[in-house]
């Protein structure tokens, strides 16, 4: 009877031996292919290699007879194929040229997928939990909404703003680290009246004059102050609310109540006055059009 292997994709391949074994205390299979000469072994080894590296085909292996009837239990979940060869002049006790295929038992794919799905679902619940607002107290809902709006506006702040410099507009990101760097370099440039190296978004590092660094600091500070004040205004509004539906209706694009909007306008006016004072002091033509906008 011939030893015929049937793969998961229903293709077959004749082999000389099919032996279950243990390798490193792991279930394994050793499959042998015998040939009479080196040329045949060399030609067939390429086909064997390709077949056993096909993970789809390797999902199921079994021995069948010439009529295709199974004569052994199916071997599921074997992979990590390693091929080796043996020739009559390599210390073997046979005159055959042999290709050996070693397969190790892998974790059951379906069990692995199931386990991974559970882990993914647990991570999803932590990252993006389903929030049941009906179970929250008013104070909890207020804190939730304050954080939601703060996160959204803070993300907008981090994206940064444009600054019109003598050589043209440049965009500066404003993460906390970016803000610290700008502040540090501006103080250094102004104190020693030296140019300092920095970079705008998507541009190579270059040196900025003290006046340029002062301008960058001024405009970015005004931008951060404007939107930090906006976060504070939303927080005040949210904590005024006495009904859950009022809180849930507020978004980062909602129009502020009249008194809070008036306060925002006063802040913007003050910021623009700072810009005007700097323009008079620095006498830099390139900042004539700098303004802080709502």
- Residue 119: what pLDDT? 73
Judged by average pLDDT, the poorest of 135-139, 206-210, 236-240 is: 135-139
138 pLDDT above the threshold of 50: yes
Query: Is the model more confident about 273 or about 152?
Result: 152
CA–CA dist 65, 2 (Å, integer): 7
User: How large is the average pLDDT for residues 1-11?
Assistant: 78
Condensed to tens digits (0 to 9), the pLDDT of residues 235-257 reads 999 999 999 999 999 999 999 99
Residues belonging to the chain: 294
Q: What confidence score (pLDDT) does residue 87 get? A: 84
> What is the pLDDT at residue 272?
86
Residue 144: band (very low, low, confident or very high) from pLDDT cuts 50, 70, 90: very high
What's residue 28's pLDDT?
85
Q: What percent of the chain has pLDDT over 90?
A: 45
The pair phi, psi for residue 37, each rounded to 5°, is -145, 165
Lowest average pLDDT, out of 21-35, 122-136, 214-228, 259-273, goes to 122-136
Q: Judge whether residue 64 has pLDDT over 60.
A: yes
Lowest mean pLDDT, pick from 131-135, 168-172, 203-207: 131-135
Angle between helices 138-159 and 210-240 (to 10 degrees): 160
Confidence of residue 58 (pLDDT cuts 50, 70, 90): confident
pTM tops 0.75: no
Q: Which residue has the higher pLDDT, 108 or 260?
A: 260
The CA distance from 189 to 95, in Å, is: 83
pLDDT band of residue 88 (cuts 50, 70, 90) is confident
Question: Band of the pLDDT at 107, cuts 50, 70, 90?
Answer: low
Q: Does the structure show a pLDDT above 50 at 51? A: yes
Gap between the Cα atoms of 118 and 128, Å rounded: 15
Looking at residue 61, its pLDDT comes to 80
Compute the average pLDDT of residues 278-287: 59
Average pLDDT, the chain: 85
């Amino acid at each position: 009877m011939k030893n015929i292997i049937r793969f998961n994709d229903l293709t077959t391949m004749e082999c000389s031996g099919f032996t279950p074994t243990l390798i490193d205390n792991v279930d394994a299979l050793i499959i042998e292919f015998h040939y009479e000469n080196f040329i045949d072994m060399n030609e067939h080894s390429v086909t064997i290699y390709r077949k056993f590296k096909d993970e789809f085909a390797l999902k199921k292996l079994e021995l069948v007879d010439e009529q295709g009837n199974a004569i052994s239990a199916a071997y599921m979940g074997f992979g990590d194929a390693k091929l080796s060869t043996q020739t009559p002049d390599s210390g073997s006790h046979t005159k055959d040229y042999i290709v050996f295929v070693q397969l190790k038992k892998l974790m059951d794919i379906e069990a692995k997928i199931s386990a991974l799905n559970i882990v993914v679902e647990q991570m999803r619940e932590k990252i993006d939990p389903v929030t049941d607002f009906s179970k929250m107290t008013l104070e909890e809902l207020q804190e939730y909404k304050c954080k939601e709006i703060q996160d959204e506006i803070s993300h907008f702040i981090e994206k940064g703003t444009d600054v019109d410099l003598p050589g043209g507009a440049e965009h500066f990101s404003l993460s906390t680290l970016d803000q610290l760097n700008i502040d540090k370099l501006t103080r250094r440039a102004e104190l020693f009246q030296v140019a300092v190296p920095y970079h705008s978004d998507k541009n190579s590092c270059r040196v900025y004059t003290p006046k340029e660094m002062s301008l960058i600091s001024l405009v970015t500070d005004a931008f951060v102050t404007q939107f930090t004040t906006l976060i504070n205004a939303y927080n005040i509004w949210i904590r005024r609310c006495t009904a859950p539906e009022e809180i849930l209706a507020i978004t980062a694009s909602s129009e502020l109540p009249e008194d809070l909007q008036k306060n925002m306008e006063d802040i913007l006016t003050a910021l623009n006055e700072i810009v005007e004072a700097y323009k008079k002091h620095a006498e830099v033509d390139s900042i004539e059009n700098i303004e802080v906008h709502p």
